[in-house]
Amino acid sequence: MAACLFCAAWYSKACTVWHHDVAVCHNGRAPSFVLSQTDTNQSMPMTPRKRLFINTATSFAAALAFASAAFLSHAQDAAPATPTATADAVAPAVISQVGELSSVPAPALGARAWLSLDMNSGQVIASENLDERIEPASLTKIMAAYLVFDALESKRLTLEQTVHVSENAWRTEGSRMFIKPNSQVSVHDLLQGLIVQSGNDATVALAEAIAGSESAFVALMNEEAARQGLKNTNFMNSPGLPHEDHYSTVRDLGTLAANLIKRFPQYLHYYSQKEYTYNNIKQNNRNRLLWADTTVDGLKTGHTKSAGYCLIATADRDNRRVLTVLVGAASDSARAESSLKLLNWSFQNFDTVKLYDNERAMVTARVWEGEAETVGLGSETPVWVTVPRGKAEQVRPMAQYQQPLIAPLGKGAQVGEVSLSLDGHVLRRDSLHVLQDVAQAGFFSRMIDKVRLMFE
């Protein structure tokens, strides 16, 4: 008995000349090429050595074809591949805040809601009433500034460009820059009025310059909020004046502030500016922490009677940045004191370390049917993790990725994820990507790998 080269079925080889000479196999299938035990040139007799070579090659090819057919039949019947852990493990519980693993509790803060966020890792260190709807007051101006910075980067505005101050902008109630109606003021001056002085009039003037009207600008604010995934935020005006449908959460405000810092670092100097004088009126930045701590370099205050005293603050210590959001404090001094307590607690009781560079493989995975037998899997960006102080070396990675990995593979293709855990709790998850291209191997190498896969 022998295996048919073209249909992988078994048949009797009693005849001396194989039936493939007639260009059909014993099942009637038409082959793409013809092999024979006899020489096609009848004028040249076949030598024993030549016959042995052809018999060996034919049997090897038949075996490969049989194995390939069996493999393909098995693959058609099998379920699609699912991510598989590289090591057997019980799925750890997920935590939302690193502070849950710390033996040092967060300080008592006199505020309605608050958040501490490590910007290097993107992890929430601790929070209270994270998703409770709150009134953002002038913290709203972070979104207004975000859109102004975006207009500057896209060249729709320039810092030197002058903006017409409308009656509507001039009449805006609340904190003011004291710009004059029907005057021309540069974007650079208006930005200082918006950020340093928290001027509502400056905010509306910039909104009208970008969108034509404040209402159109507010629509852009809400579009940007949706784009950033701020699910519990809605704006009704650009400066942050009280309105029952004007709301946010400390989670959303933290996300917005972090996005502004990461995308527009070239404009952060406005937030560390301690004072600004316009129209012979000098006003100090309302963020007291700029004087209390030299590592604090922003970000924004807010206050209305209904919202209380609010502050988003950020500090950079030894190339580690922490962002805090605090709303509903009883006084200006209380919001500053509580925010500094939260910053100090976050820096002193937690470490943030870079575990992997974006070019370093977290996992070396087996590749099938490729020119290379292995490929590195890792993250497209550096992987940072925040942990309670002294526990960085106890972080354990667990990778899950698609198996088998079949070439060709393109650099950057996502094939799984890696979980970073501490004491049985997942700190964060990151996607796993192919770090190098892997080309498909030749025909026979692929056939050999198909056979090997049958026994994996």
Report helix, strand or coil for 171: coil
Q: Are 141 and 195 in contact (CB under 8 A)?
A: yes
- Choose the catalytic residue: 127, 138, 175, 421: 138
Our answer to whether residue 121 is catalytic in this structure is no
Catalytic residue among 102, 141, 248, 300: 141
- From residue 344, alpha-carbon distances to 104, 128, 247, 301, 312 in Å are 12, 17, 28, 19, 15
How many Å separate Cα 308 from the centre of its chain? Answer: 34
- Whose CA is closest to 167, among 153, 179, 185? 179
User: Kind of pairing, strands 363-368 and 405-406?
Assistant: parallel
CB atoms within 10 A of CB 417: 15
Q: Identify any residues that bridge with 248 across adjacent strands, giving them in sequence order.
A: 134
Question: Is 166 an active-site residue?
Answer: no
Chain centroid to CA 300: 26
Which of 175, 198, 248, 379 is catalytic? The answer is 198
- What residues pair up with 303 in beta bridges, in sequence order? 309
Amino acid letter, 133: R
- Nearest to residue 252, comparing CAs of 271, 234, 272, 270? 234
Rounded Cα–Cα distance for residues 312 and 268 (Å) = 14
The residues assigned a catalytic role are 138, 141, 198
